[in-house]
Amino acid sequence: MIRTERLEPISLGFDRAVPFGLIVNELVSNAYQHGIADHQTPILSIELYREGDAIVFRIEDNGVGMNHDAAEGTGLLLVRALCSQLHGELLIQSPTMGDAGTRVTIRIPAVA
């Protein structure tokens, strides 16, 4: 497996760190379970950084991508709900076919 990381120190209050941690845990678990589990040469990229007035978490894999016609699972519904709770934005980029993978970007305000 090829793994790249860009992790900057980020400070969050407890009330925001818990839901943010749950989001990160769910997305990393999904990448391992669905994105790269059966890939011959898995690649996983994880980024956490501050950009202006926002905290950005991005995870990207080179798996088969997401089926946009499939119903969302409980995990992604949880991610959407927690993002909303944090007044954040969720962006999922994934082609419908091929080995181009999936990129998920979460952007939340740096201060509540």
Give residues with Cβ within 8 angstroms of 18, minimum separation 6.
Answer: none
* pLDDT at residue 61, as a whole number: 92
* pLDDT at residue 70, as a whole number: 65
Q: Is the dihedral of CA 10, 86, 20, 55 positive or negative?
A: negative
State the pTM of this model.
Answer: 0.91
Residue 90 contacts residue 79 (beta carbons within 8 Å): yes
Per-block mean pLDDT, blocks of 10 residues, the chain (112 long)? 95 96 96 82 95 97 79 88 98 74 95 77
* pLDDT at residue 38, as a whole number: 75
* pLDDT at residue 12, as a whole number: 94
Domain boundaries, the chain: 2-109
Cα 71 to chain centroid, rounded: 18
* pLDDT at residue 35, as a whole number: 78
* pLDDT at residue 58, as a whole number: 98
Angle at the Cα of 59 (from 91 to 37), degrees rounded to 5?
115
CB burial of residue 30 (10 Å; 0-12, 13-18, 19+): buried
* pLDDT at residue 82, as a whole number: 98
Residue 103 contacts residue 58 (beta carbons within 8 Å): yes
For the domain spanning 2-109, the CATH number is 3.30.565.10
